[in-house]
A = this chain, B = another copy of it.
Amino acid sequence: MRTAAQNAELALLIEVAGTPKPGNVDRERDLPGLRFEHFLAGAVGAQGGLRAAERGERVGAAFERAVEGMADQRGGNTQFGALLLSMPLVRTAGEGELTPEAAAGTVAATTVEDAVDFYRAFDHVDVRAGDPPEEMEPLDVRRGSDAAEAIRTRGLTLADLMERSADRDGIAREWTDGFEQTFEAADRIAALDGPLPARAAETFLWLLAHEPDTHVAKKHGESTARSVMVRAQEAREGGPDHVRAFADSLVESGINPGTTADVTAGALFVALERDGLEV
């Protein structure tokens, strides 16, 4: 019987094994400087933080610890978003039933110290983040732990921070919306047939065809993110050859829908933990 922390780690591993996941590293695809084994090491390294969340440590502290462990490989940021999404879910599962309501309660209970921990996590890894609005400059995540004073002065909790980013960051939106997409994708994974990595890949493409990926939007602009979404719809309708061609084209353009992969990992965790899906 796997623990919640083990299911979360396994979800990270199954997510990266699912193929094809257009634009991202998967069982059949490495990217320049970012290879499959970096994700394996990232998942193993995150263990300590995942276990901390399961036994009830503060979400922010557990997250920072998970990111520090994740970063102990040479690929850089492998699973930052997936861990940020999963952490309140793992903590919720460690306390009782894993429902959207309970997860929203975990989010609502986060404190200013969780927000400080969240900023500290950026010290461990290089994460893509856009320029913040001018009045938010002291809270630029790129300042890492140097932003601690500004957070404390403003009295912002981690839930507050997420709410402020919800319109431009898919993970923050999940935190704010009761993990709606994550649970919906988990229902889908549970309802599909076949090996879990294949269900994960199918669900990744389904998510990508339904919402613009915010990681793509930050890096390449809103219109590119929308175009990727439309092309994902067309690829799904066209079948496996179209999906493969779409995947190749995204890689050629350096477009990786990372947020969609993060939501897929979170959904796999819910499916393993809540629905007890067998591997």
Contacts and interface: CB of A to CB of B under 8 A. Distances in A.
Interface in A228-246: none
A162 to B, nearest CB: 28
B1 A17 contact: no
A9 B6 CA distance: 12
Nearest to A10: B44
A40 B13 contact: yes
A206 to B, nearest CB: 20
Interface string A172-208: 0000000000000000000000011100000000000
A13 B72 contact: no
Interface stretch (A30-38, A58-66, A82-90, A120-128): A30-38
A19 to B, nearest CB: 10
Interface string A4-33: 001001100110010000000001100000
Nearest to A272: B41
Contacts of A195: 35, 37
A225 B246 CA distance: 44
A279 B197 CA distance: 23
A6 B40 contact: no
A47 interface: yes
A73 interface: yes
A154 interface: no
A278 interface: yes
A278 B74 contact: yes
A contacts with B: majority SS: helix
A45 interface: yes
A279 B38 contact: yes
Nearest to A16: B40
A73 B278 contact: yes
Given A35-B195, A73-B278, A279-B73, A40 B14 contact: yes
A26 to B, nearest CB: 10
A197 B6 CA distance: 23
B279 A37 contact: yes
Contact of A2 (B13, B37, B44, B197): B44
A31 to B, nearest CB: 13
B197 A36 contact: yes
Nearest to A41: B279
Contact of A37 (B36, B40, B44, B196): B196
10 tightest Cβ-Cβ pairs between the two chains A and B: A41-B279, A13-B40, A73-B279, A10-B44, A6-B44, A37-B197, A37-B279, A9-B44, A14-B37, A74-B278
8 contacts: A1-B72, A2-B44, A10-B44, A13-B40, A17-B40, A41-B279, A47-B47, A74-B279
